[in-house]
Amino acid sequence: MRFNRVLEKLTPYRASPPLAEIKQHYGLERLYVMSANEVPWGPFPEVVEKLKQALDGLNRYPDGNCGELRAEIARQLGVAKELLVFGNGSCEILMLLGQAFLGPDSHVVFPEPSFVMYRSIALAREAPFTAVALPNFRYDLQAMLDAIEENTSMIVVCNPNNPTGTYIESRELCHFLEQVPSEVLVVLDEAYGEFVTSPLHEDSVLWLERFPNLVVLRTFSKIYGLAGLRVGYAFAAPEVVTALDKIRQPFNVDSLAQIAALESLRHPERVRERRQKVAAERERVSRRLHEMGIATIPSQANFLLVDVSNLSIPGPEVPQALLERGILTRSGYAMGCPGWIRVTIGEVEEGDAFLAAMADLVRGGEFVPRRTALGLTADALSPES
């Protein structure tokens, strides 16, 4: 068979084992899942109600235009409906952007460490790329601008950035946009945007008119608690939206996802409540870690990068040691942040369990893994989210 030769450069996504299997393997009564930057809370109760009512209609295809959801988002953002495009999670929109803008002759600039998909879309399209480092885990926007070449067609910024949680203030980002050549598409990934509490934060939708080369990605997977349903959207100039609409499959967002997303948008007070809860917990967990002598990186997202290089056990063993204590985190070694782990912040009970386990690892005692890691390394135990 003649496979596309680009496949030689790609590896399949290695899914985490089911949570039930992890619990059984490690003999855990309770597993705190703090690895994938989801919120620990389900969809809003009103959303669950709407979903139950919608089950009868599943014999029909969904609305391929996401009509009602589109109208509501357009109304809330104050933009024309034609500026919106929907995807099976914002991941799908990233893949579509790759198809529409990247190829062997079009270069892409993205940050690293950042979300793994940026590198994946470049590899999948055989596009030359420059991965720009984050000194001290913060963006060097000048270095990103300097990386733009003659044939650059896309530059990606993730704000707040995954996995560092670091945030670029709106004024700084706006200044950056002013300097990007107008023929280069700027992909601004705001998957964690709803968690930002900076008082100077400006809604990026305000920049769209000024920068027709801007596309902003948002998702219902994070603060809205709908990661299992797969729905995200982007706003951009109409020609970008049309390009993506040409190549997407006709029914890419399923009907339950559309119903859940629409209802979620009707409860901004619940979003505010989650944002405040996460911010308070983020602050509490970092403060307690600092008191233990453990560094964290200032974060505006629902996760923290935590220094594990000075504990009583070697850093690479920390995710496994935490897992044996019932806490699933994500190892930084697999994400370009050796010596760090990423931990999702949400419920106080989870935070307390994590802090207690970390205190244990500070105090010491030799760590002898009780179990083999399910045939996988601790790195691979948590999904790349």
Interacting residues with ligand PMP (CB under 6 A): 37, 89-91, 115, 158, 162, 189, 191, 219, 221, 227, 232, 385
Give the span between the Cα atoms of 301 and 167, in whole angstroms: 8
**What amino acid occupies position 125?**
R
Q: Least distance from C-beta 330 to ligand PMP, angstroms?
A: 10
Q: Nearer to ligand PMP by C-beta: 26 or 129?
A: 129
Q: Least distance from C-beta 31 to ligand PMP, angstroms?
A: 19
Both tokens assigned to 159: 């704000």
Q: Nearer to ligand PMP by C-beta: 232 or 326?
A: 232
Q: How far is CA 80 from CA 74, 205, 235, 259, in A?
A: 6, 11, 10, 21
Q: Least distance from C-beta 289 to ligand PMP, angstroms?
A: 22
Q: Nearer to ligand PMP by C-beta: 88 or 152?
A: 88
Neighbouring CB atoms inside 10 A of 94's CB total 21
Chain centroid, CA 258 distance in Å? 20
Q: Least distance from C-beta 7 to ligand PMP, angstroms?
A: 22
303: enclosing H helix or E strand: strand 303-307
Q: Nearer to ligand PMP by C-beta: 91 or 327?
A: 91
Q: Nearer to ligand PMP by C-beta: 207 or 233?
A: 233
Query: Which residue has its beta carbon closest to ligand PMP?
Result: 89
Q: Nearer to ligand PMP by C-beta: 115 or 207?
A: 115
Q: Nearer to ligand PMP by C-beta: 92 or 324?
A: 92
The arrangement of strands across the sheet holding 340-344 comes to 303-307, 340-344, 330-331
**Please, are residues 161 and 302 in contact by the beta-carbon 8 Å criterion?**
no
**Please, are residues 339 and 307 in contact by the beta-carbon 8 Å criterion?**
yes
Long-range contacts made by residues 91-94, C-beta under 8 angstroms, separation at least 24? 91/117, 91/232, 92/230, 92/232, 92/248, 92/252, 93/217, 93/232, 93/233, 93/234, 93/244, 94/118, 94/121, 94/187, 94/189, 94/217
Q: Least distance from C-beta 292 to ligand PMP, angstroms?
A: 27
Q: Least distance from C-beta 371 to ligand PMP, angstroms?
A: 27
Q: Least distance from C-beta 382 to ligand PMP, angstroms?
A: 11
